Structure 1
Amino acid sequence: MAETETAVRRDRRERSRWVDAAIAGLAGGLVFGLYLQFVVGVLPPRATADGVGSLALDWAVHLFHSLVFAVVYAELVGWPRLARYADRAGTGAIVGAGYGVVLWGVATLVVMAFWAVANTVWVLPIPGLNLGSLVGHLLYGVVLGVVFAAVRR
Structure 2
Amino acid sequence: MAETETAVRRDRPERSRWVGGAIAGLAAGLAFGLYLQFVVGVLPPREEVVGPETLAYSWTVHLSHSLVFALVYVGVVSFPRVARFADRPATGVVLGAAFGVALWAVATGVAVAFWALANTVWALPIPDLSVASLVGHVLYGVVLGGLYAALRG
Q: C-alpha separation between the residues in 2 aligned to 1:89 and 1:102?
A: 20
Q: What is the RMSD computed on CA atoms of the aligned residues?
A: 2.2
Q: C-alpha separation between the residues in 2 aligned to 1:83 and 1:11?
A: 12
Secondary structure at 1:16's aligned position in 2?
helix
Structure 2: stretches of 5+ with no match in the other structure: none
Secondary structure at 2:11's aligned position in 1?
helix
Give yes or no for the alignment of 1:91 onto 2:82.
Answer: no
Partner of 1:140: 140
Instruction: Please tell me whether Structure 1 or Structure 2 has the larger radius of gyration of its CA atoms.
Output: 1
Alpha carbons of structure 1 residues 106 and 22: separation in structure 2 relative to 1, 3 Å: same
Partner of 1:5: 4
Point out 4+ residue stretches in structure 1 off by more than 4 angstroms: none
Bigger share in helix: 1
Alpha carbons of structure 1 residues 66 and 120: separation in structure 2 relative to 1, 3 Å: same
Q: C-alpha separation between the residues in 1 aligned to 2:54 and 2:11?
A: 43
Structure 1 length-normalised TM: 0.86
Q: For 1:4-153, what aligned pairs fall within 5 Å after superposition?
A: 5-6=4-5, 10-12=11-13, 14-44=14-44, 46-47=48-49, 53-121=53-121, 126-153=126-153
> Deviation of residue 127 (structure 1)?
1.6
Structure 1: stretches of 5+ with no match in the other structure: none
Using the aligned pairs only, state the percent identity: 64
> Deviation of residue 112 (structure 1)?
1.2
